[in-house]
Structure 1
Amino acid sequence: MEDKDTVYENPSLEQRHTAYDVEEDELREKGKDGPKIYFFILAILALIATNIYFYVKYKHSDELHGTVLSEKTQMETELDRIEVELDRVTKQNVELTESLRAAQDNARIKIEELRTKLTQQQLSRAELVNAQKEIAQLRTTVSRYTKDIEKLKNENALLISERDRLKESAGNANRKADELEAINSELEQKVALATALKLSSININAVREKRHGEESIETKAKKTDKLRIDFNIADNPLAKKAIYDVYIRVIEPNGNLLIADNNIFEVDGVEMQYTDKTGIEFSNDGKLYSYEWQGPEDFKSGSYTVMLYTNKGLMGKGTIRLD
């Protein structure tokens, strides 16, 4: 028993060589597996790096895509605001100048162009930035256009105010002119009345013509051949010293106007018939004027009314009664 145990605890040289060879073979095998493990670890690391790269890339891409969509939405909203502002200004019923109409048309064309660009699915970052610049320029253009419209509106308001003021002034002037015309007409009438010749006295006699040129005053109608009308003109320094036509109207006892022909004269625009007319020279010296009217062949009994006129109106009248 002791011999066997001694052999086990103290192997022989051959046994030790065999054990060494086994260990060497194991180490050799382990040495062969080392590079495989290394490359396997590298492959795992590369796969992890690739996954991280694509994760970061697609995450950035999603974020960029979201940013693009957000910016496109903001720009579309800005275009809506610009268009609303353009519509608001357009509805103000201001008569646009040619340049303002052209600016409005160009702004609307630009809005449509930008809307078309923003609806494109593949819009690069550069195109997006350029669109933002164009919208900013459009905003500036519409803002300037709005200011021009407001300026034009204010100018129109001033012109309308000035027009109304001028119309009011013209209305006042017309009313004043009408008032002055009425006053002037009234003054003219007063002047006409003031300068018109008026009788201070009138005396009418029936005259009978006798043989040898003798005449006598009568009161009988059947003996009367003519009427003698003597009159004086009242003092009037305003009346023009000149020769005046005097129109005589004789009304017979039955109320008829005696006329020999269709004699017409005008007084203040009114046409009137007259019996006879004569001319007198007025010099405002109070002298006596005399006129003889050859009446009808047979005078009637009753009252005869004699009225004297100038173109400015009635000078005066008198009556005579014949038996």
Structure 2
Amino acid sequence: MSEESKKSNYSYLEKENKNSNKKIIIILFLVVIAAVIGIKFYLDSEKENDRLQQNLEQTYGELDSISTQLDLKIAEIESLGGDITELQLIRKNLESEKEDLKKSNNWAASQIERYKDKVGGYEELLNLQDEKIKKLEAINKELLSENTNLKSEKNVLNDSISRLKNNREVLEDKVEMASRLKAENIKIIAINARGRERDDKEYKPRHIEKLKIQFNLAENSVAQPEGKDIILRVINPLGNALFDVATGSGSFMISGKEMFYTAKQEILFDNTQQQLSFIYDRGEEYKEGVYQLELYADDYLIGKEKFVVN
């Protein structure tokens, strides 16, 4: 091989090596560029994911806060007597959206933006509930005022009714007291064995074979004509009523207490100052002392007197 041919081959090889080196450098440069771009894309992607995660957490926190406020509004509206049916449905839907957001792995910006729009809608709903609460409070205040006035009027009416009732009871008591009968001109007459009568109020035992009690019922414009039981009690010096079943004695109730009486008769009170009399035959001698005499109409005292045996 000639010297000139050797030089030509060497030049060709040298040229080929240079071209090969250039290709390697270009390839390495392209690899570095691709690596840089890939790293930058990865870093940007991580940064975007972090931002989306923060937005997601922030949005969930806002929904959770709205859920708490909505619970308070529902409780307040219910306490004021408002209708909470629709709010309860909204509350249920809100909890469902919170749960969906919590479980979501798709952190797309469009999805988070959609939830942010819902947060705005819920915040507007809360503002509307504030206005509703104010209206309900105003209505309740008005109703409370009306209720207070009604209670006051009711109390006044009850007081008036109570006073009228008391006045009626007092009047009835007065009428009842005014209608009570009264015995007048009470005379205690002793009748001896020969039928002679003495009206001295002091007698010897032998003068009293029988006792005659005579009186009249006073005029009373309030009392109604009706049947009455007139009761006689003759009380001996020991405080005991003279009592003999054989002569018509018995017992009656007065002020819740049982008392014995000496004699009784039924009359028709006719408000004519009618005169009445009892004749009591004891059948034994009267002991010395002061005797009390009491007259009753039904269950109240209408007159009393006394006589002495000595």
Q: TM-score, normalised by structure 2?
A: 0.69
Indicate the residue corresponding to 2:170 in structure 1: 186
- Counterpart selection for 1:226 from 210, 215, 227: 210
Residue pairs, 1:1-323, within 5 angstroms:
64-65=48-49, 68-89=52-73, 94=78, 100=84, 103-104=87-88, 107-108=91-92, 110-111=94-95, 113-118=97-102, 120-140=104-124, 176-210=160-194, 214-217=195-198, 219-261=203-245, 263-267=250-254, 271-311=258-298, 313-323=300-310
Structure 2 gap segments, 5+ residues each? 1-22
Moved more, 85-94 or 247-256: 85-94
**Structure 2: how far apart are the matches of 1:158 and 1:260?**
77
Partner of 2:192, secondary structure, is: strand
* 3-state SS in 2 of match to 1:206: strand
Please state how far the C-alpha of 1:206 moved relative to its aligned partner. 1.1
How far is the alpha carbon of 1:221 from its aligned partner? 1.4
Q: 1:253 to 1:57 in 2, by over 3 A?
A: same
SS in 2 for 1:68: helix
SS at match of 1:222: helix
* SS in structure 1 at match of 2:305: strand
Equivalent pair of 1:103/1:145 in contact (CA under 8 Å): no
1:85-132 per-position Cα deviation (integer Å, ceiling 9, x unaligned): 134346659559897367437515623532541453432233223323
**1:189/1:68 Cα in 2 relative to 1: closer, same or farther (>3 Å)?**
same
In 2, the alpha carbon distance for the partners of 1:272 and 1:109 equals: 85
Go from structure 1 to structure 2 and tell me whether the alpha carbon gap of 1:94 and 1:272 turns closer, same or farther (over 3 Å shift): farther
CA deviation profile, 1:278-313 (whole Å, cap 9, x unmatched): 133333333432221222422222222111111251
1:100–1:145 CA contact under 8 A, matched in 2: no
Distance 1:310 1:287, change over 3 A: closer
CA deviation after TM superposition for structure 1 residue 215, in Å: 3.6
Normalising by the residue count of structure 1, what TM-score does the alignment of the two structures yield?
0.67
Q: CA RMSD in A?
A: 4.9
Give the aligned residue type for 2:265: T
- Given that 1:222 and 1:300 are in contact with CA atoms closer than 8 Å, whether structure 2 keeps it comes out as no
Identify the residue that residue 13 of structure 2 maps to in structure 1.
Answer: none
For the residues of structure 1 that align with 2:156 and 2:205, how far apart are their CA atoms? Answer: 65
C-alpha separation in 2, matches of 1:253 and 1:296: 18
* DSSP 3-state at the match of 1:259: coil
- Matched residue pairs, number? 294
| 1:315 shift after superposition | 0.6
Which secondary structure does the structure 2 equivalent of 1:257 belong to? coil
Instruction: Indicate the larger mover: 122-131 or 224-233.
Output: 122-131
SS at match of 1:231: strand
* Deviation readout 1:231-269 (Å, 9 max, x if unpaired): 122221111123321111110122112223473334466
One-letter amino acid of the counterpart of residue 286, structure 1: Q
Provide the C-alpha distance between the structure 2 equivalents of 1:163 and 1:258, rounded to a whole number of angstroms: 67
- Cα deviation, residue 161, structure 1: 6.8
CA–CA separation in structure 1 for the residues paired with 2:80 and 2:207: 95
Higher Rg of the two aligned structures: 1
Change (3 A) 1:178 1:268: farther
Cα 1:272–1:102 change in 2 (3 A) is: farther
User: 1:150: how far off?
Assistant: 6.5
CA contact (8 A) 1:205 1:320 kept: no
Cα separation, 2, equivalents of 1:269 and 1:166: 44
